[in-house]
Amino acid sequence: MIRSYILIAVLIILADSNPVQVASKDWYKNSLVYQIYPRSFKDSNGDGIGDLNGITKNLVHVAEIGADVVWISTIFSSPQKDFGYDISNFTNINEEYGTLEDFNKLIEKARFLGIKVILDFVPNHSSDQHKWFNQSIHRIKPYDEYYIWRDAKYDEHQNRLPPNNWLSNFGGSAWQWNDIRKQYYLHQFAAGQPDLNYRNDELQEEMKNVLVFWMDRGVEGFRIDAINHMYEDDQFRDEPLSNIPGVPSDDYDFLNHIYTKNLPETYKVLESWRKLMDDQSPGNTKMILTEAYADFDLIIKYYLSGSTVPFNFMFISDLNNKSTAVDFKRSIDRWMNNVPNGTEYVANWVLGNHDNHRVASRFGEKRVDQLFMLVTILPGVSVIYNGDEIGMVDREFTYEETKDPAGCNAGPERYWLKSRDPERTPFQWNDGPNAGFSTSSSTWLPVNENYIHLNVEAQKYKAYSHYNILTRLIELKKKSVIEYGTLETALYCSKCSVTENVLGVVRRHRSYIVVLIVNFSDTEMIVVDIGMWLNISEPLRVYTSSKGSNLSPRQIVELRSFSLSASVSAVLTTPNLLN
C-alpha cells in the first residue's frame, strides 16, 4: 500500500516537472508542426553546417513557440547531391550531422520538452551511392530489380537514346545510362537519385523495415517525400506535351506527367504504411504528412489511404500577394468542404517549406501576420517552416553562388526560377557573427545580410514583432474554441462599388468567440458593423493585430463601427478568452 502511494507521488512529481507527451488517437488534430531544415538550423561544431546537436540545444526555441511536433527534414547518410534527399543509408545519420547516439539525445530532449519528433521518409529514390544501387548495377539478386532499369532505344544511325521522353524534375532526361549494366536507370530528380521500384515486393519490405527502425527509436511519424512520384506507367509510354508557352523542351514542365505521377498504386502502398504504423503503436496515432504537389482531388484522396496531413499547399501554390479576399475565402472553403467525413480527418494549413519562397517574400512582409493568423485560427493542423516565425525573407543568389541542383541544372539564365537556395539560408538567431548560426569563417550557404536587425533575439524583446504575434496566436490555438469550435468565413465590401475586400473568419464554441478580420485593401481603411455582418452581439476585445493597426491588445472594440487600416488584420475574442 505504502509502496503504491510512493509510486503515485513520484509519478505526480515527474508529471509536474516535465511536459507530458500526449499519446492518444487524437493528439495530432489541433497540433502545430514546426519544420527544421537541419543543414541551416544551428551548427554546434563550427563547420558551417547545421547538425543534430545544434537542433537538440535549441529545441527549447521550438517549445517556446508552442509547437507540438518537430518535423526534421532528412538527416540520413547522404552524399548531399540534393542536400540529403539522396540517401545512401536509410538507417544511419549523415556524418556531417552527427551520430545515432546524438539522435537518441535529441529524442530524449524532445520528450522532456513534450515535443514529438517526425522524420522525413524518402521512398521514391535512394542515392546512387546506396549499396542496393551498386548491387543492382551488377544484377545481384534481389537488388537487380530494386530500381527502374530499361534498355536503350537506337535511332537509324545506331545512336543510343533513352527509352522514352520522360523528364527529370531538375531538368533534362529522367534517364541515365549505366555502362556496367548497359541499361538506363530512371531518376525523376537528380541523376544521383535513382528511382526505387515499388513493383518489387522485396523492395517494399525493405522500406517498411526503415519505418520500423525509426519508430523503434522514438519517432512519432513521417513526412513522406514526393509520394506521388512512386509509381510509373508499366508500359513506359511517352508523356504528352503540356503546351505551356515559353517552357524549354528540357524543363520538367514541358510535359504533362500522366505516366510518372499520381498513379493509383501509390494509395495502396500508403495504406500498407498506415497499417504498419497503427500496428506498431495501437491507440497512439503516428502522424503521416504526405507531400504531393497535385490536383486538389488527388491530394484529398490521401486522407482515405491513411495520411493525417495531406499537405494543403494552397497558401503556396494557389494564393499570392495579388489574391483577393474572394480568392482566400474560395480556397479555404474548398478545403474545408472536401475534408472527408469522419472524426479522424482534420484540415491542415502549410505556411512554407524548404522548397518554396519564404512566406514573407511571397506575400510581402506586411502580410506575414495575416498568414500567421489564418494558419493558426483555421481549424486543424498548422505547419510552419523554421525562420518564418520571424518573417525571414529570401536571399538573392548569383548563379556562381547557387548550390541547389534544381538551380544549377537550369543554367545561368534560368537558375533563379528554379533554385531553392534563397529560402534555405542559415537561421537568424541573433546579431552576432553568422547570425549566431555558426562560429565558422564561412557557412554552407551565405547568411542573409539583413540578420543584423532581423533575428530571433531582436524580435523577442520588441513590443510588436512577427515572433510575438505568432507565439500569442499559438497560445490561442491551444484553447478549446480553436480546437473544437465551428467555423464561418464571410466577405464584406467596404465600398460596395468594388468587390468584397474584407475577409472574416469566426470560430465559436460554447460562450467563446474568436473573430479574424483581414482588410485586403492596400489603400483604404475599412469600417465594419461586426454585429450585423457576423451576427455577433457579445463584446469583443483585441487579442492581437498586425503592424500598423493602431489597435491595442485588450482594447474593447466598437462592434457597430470597427475600423481597420489598409492591409491590416486583427484577431478579436470574447473577454472570457483573455487571461
* Binding residues vs ligand NOJ (CB under 6 A): 82, 85, 122, 189, 225-226, 291, 354-355
* Strand blocks (E) in 116-217: 116-121, 149-150, 153-154, 160-161, 175-178, 183-186
Contact criterion met (CB below 8 Å) for 527 and 552: no
User: b vs e for 446-481, b when ≥16 Cβ sit within 10 Å of the residue's Cβ?
Assistant: ebbeebeebbbebbeeeeebbbbbbbbbbebbebeb
Contact criterion met (CB below 8 Å) for 273 and 288: yes
Tell me the residue number closest to ligand NOJ, measured at CB: 85
Is 225 an annotated catalytic residue? yes
- State the cell numbers at 298: 488527388
Q: How far is the CB of 561 from ligand NOJ (least distance, A)?
A: 47
Name the residue nearer to ligand NOJ (CB basis): 43 or 225. Answer: 225
| Helix or strand run (H / E) with residue 544 | strand 541-545
Q: How far is the CB of 404 from ligand NOJ (least distance, A)?
A: 8
Q: How far is the CB of 356 from ligand NOJ (least distance, A)?
A: 9
- Among residues 86, 96, 225, 232, the one annotated as catalytic is 225
Name the residue nearer to ligand NOJ (CB basis): 356 or 471. Answer: 356
- State the cell numbers at 445: 550557404
Is 524 an annotated catalytic residue? no
Q: Using the 8-state DSSP alphabet, how is residue 239 labeled?
A: P
> Positive or negative, the Cα torsion across 409, 411, 417, 420?
positive
SS3 category, 38: helix
Round to whole Å and give the CA distance between 223 and 432.
33
Q: How far is the CB of 193 from ligand NOJ (least distance, A)?
A: 7
Indicate the Cα dihedral angle 549, 322, 317, 491, nearest 10°: 60
Q: How far is the CB of 228 from ligand NOJ (least distance, A)?
A: 10
SS3 category, 570: strand
Name the residue nearer to ligand NOJ (CB basis): 190 or 368. Answer: 190
CB neighbours of 105 closer than 8 A, spacing ≥ 6? 52, 53, 56
Q: How far is the CB of 355 from ligand NOJ (least distance, A)?
A: 5
Name the residue nearer to ligand NOJ (CB basis): 260 or 285. Answer: 260
Name the residue nearer to ligand NOJ (CB basis): 127 or 574. Answer: 127
Name the residue nearer to ligand NOJ (CB basis): 189 or 302. Answer: 189
- Among residues 220, 291, 394, 423, the one annotated as catalytic is 291
Name the residue nearer to ligand NOJ (CB basis): 230 or 390. Answer: 230
Query: Closest Cα partner for 371 from 397, 343, 403, 349?
Result: 349
Q: How far is the CB of 320 from ligand NOJ (least distance, A)?
A: 20
CB neighbours of 106 closer than 8 A, spacing ≥ 6? 52, 55, 56, 59, 117
User: Looking at the annotation, which residues are catalytic?
Assistant: 225, 291
